Amino acid sequence: MTPVDTMAELGAVAGTARLYTADEPLELVGGGRLEVVDVAYETYGTLNSTGSNALFICHALTGDAHAAGQRIGDRRPGWWDNLIGPGKAVDTDRWYVVCANILGGCRGTTGPSSINPATGQAYGLDFPLLDMADFVTVHRRLARHLGVERWAVLLGGSLGGMQVLQWALSHPDEVDNAILIASSSRLTAENIAFSAVGRQAIMRDPEFCNGRFSDAGTSPDRGLSVARMMAHITYLSEKAFSEKFGRAAQSGTLAPGFGIDFAVESYLEHQGESFLTRFDALSYLYLTRVMDYFDPFAAPDALDALRADPVKFLVMSFDSDWRFATSQSRRIVQHLEHAGLPTAFREINSPWGHDSFLLALPAYHATIQAFLDRAFDEVRG
């Protein structure tokens, strides 16, 4: 397949906005403060004259602003290109779609490996601790920058779904509809355990240098790739591993030894190595930790704002997802329904585990599309 420039076809705009400056710094929920915050974003389609067709995509842990389209020369399109585009479930002929890299990330938005203007060096572990609400604050500022006053739809999977939930809980007056996919309102002990071991692999890497690795000219690649390999196992189902790899040899027949021999080993090795080209060890620490602490329904008044300004929810899960299991989506639904909020829930049958949310599964995309069709009718109505 020859790469084509679908960015033009999408009416795509890519940019980086400086949203917070020393004059107007960002005060964080945890008490820290950032003097400068840049945000990388992409938009697809056109905001209509009434500003009623804006749809925000919240990306997952290792995602970025490049959700859709393919630039000439790129090996791959955006990470959710199967969902977003003209005539697709998220139809860019209808919706003005915005996706932005998250605060603390490493794909254009300010994060712990960005340069601290106060020191001229990377922040490292001096970067302040983040909260899910900080992600929302920054993306709300981006909305104002883009001239969006109201989101017809927020849409996100995994960590992205958590951000959607936070946004809908704290600013429901700016949101009409919210779609949460393979997400959670509160990680389980097992979830936290997996993330904790990944962080240990990174922090114990001698090249982590207590977070000062870029100053030291080192890079905790070993730790980060081990963390990614381990996490990746949890993003697929046991059945997916069996069907994709089974006990097949990587080349010809099995040749016992400690090198890469089984095909599944080669796959994980590739996942670990390719991750190094696009992700940063410090962002991995900061973003996973935000997920660990996220527990919005623990606040007794969590649903008060939503009760006053109801948002329509669609919550989805995949039956083979054991990392963010259906039970975690059901828990969100129970809280929302307890507050009397309109909530649709759908568990999709899929053998592929947590990463199903990135796949073009017909029942999955059809469910999103039907929800968006109704939302779009209301926009026009």
Q: Tell me the catalytic residues.
A: 158, 321, 354
35, 52, 245, 346: residue in contact with a second copy (rule CB under 8 A): 245
Q: Can you tell me the distance from the alpha carbon of 96 to that of 3, in angstroms, rounded to the nearest whole number?
A: 24
- Binding window for a second copy (CB under 8 A); candidates: 59-67, 77-85, 204-212, 339-347: 204-212
Three-state SS at 344: strand
Spatial distance between the Cα atoms of 281 and 266, rounded to a whole number of angstroms: 22
Q: What is the dihedral of CA 223, 236, 41, 175, to 10 degrees?
A: -130
CB of 255 to a second copy, least distance (A): 10
Applying CB under 8 A, the span of 73-81, 140-148, 181-189, 332-340 interacting with a second copy comes to: 181-189
Q: Any idea which residue has 């712990």 for tokens?
A: 112
Residues 213-232 binding a second copy (CB under 8 A) are 222, 225-226, 229-230
DSSP state of 3: -
The closest of 257, 84, 250, 249 to 155, measured between CA atoms, is 84
Does 274 engage in binding with a second copy (CB under 8 A)? no
Q: What is the DSSP letter of 129?
A: P
The DSSP line for 149-160 is --EEEEEEETHH
Residue 154 interacting with a second copy (CB under 8 A): no
* Helix, strand, coil percent content, the chain, rounded in steps of 5: 40, 20, 40
- Name the pairing type of β-strands 121-122 and 151-157: unpaired
x/- string (CB under 8 A) for a second copy, residues 94-133?
Answer: -------------------------------x---x----
Which residue lies nearer to a second copy by CB, 259 or 340?
A: 259
251 binds a second copy per the rule CB under 8 A: no
- By CB under 8 A, name the binding residues for a second copy: 30, 125, 129, 186-190, 192-194, 196-197, 199-201, 203-206, 222, 225-226, 229-230, 233, 236, 238, 241-242, 244-247, 254, 256-258, 262, 264-265, 268-269, 272, 285, 289, 292-293, 295, 322, 325
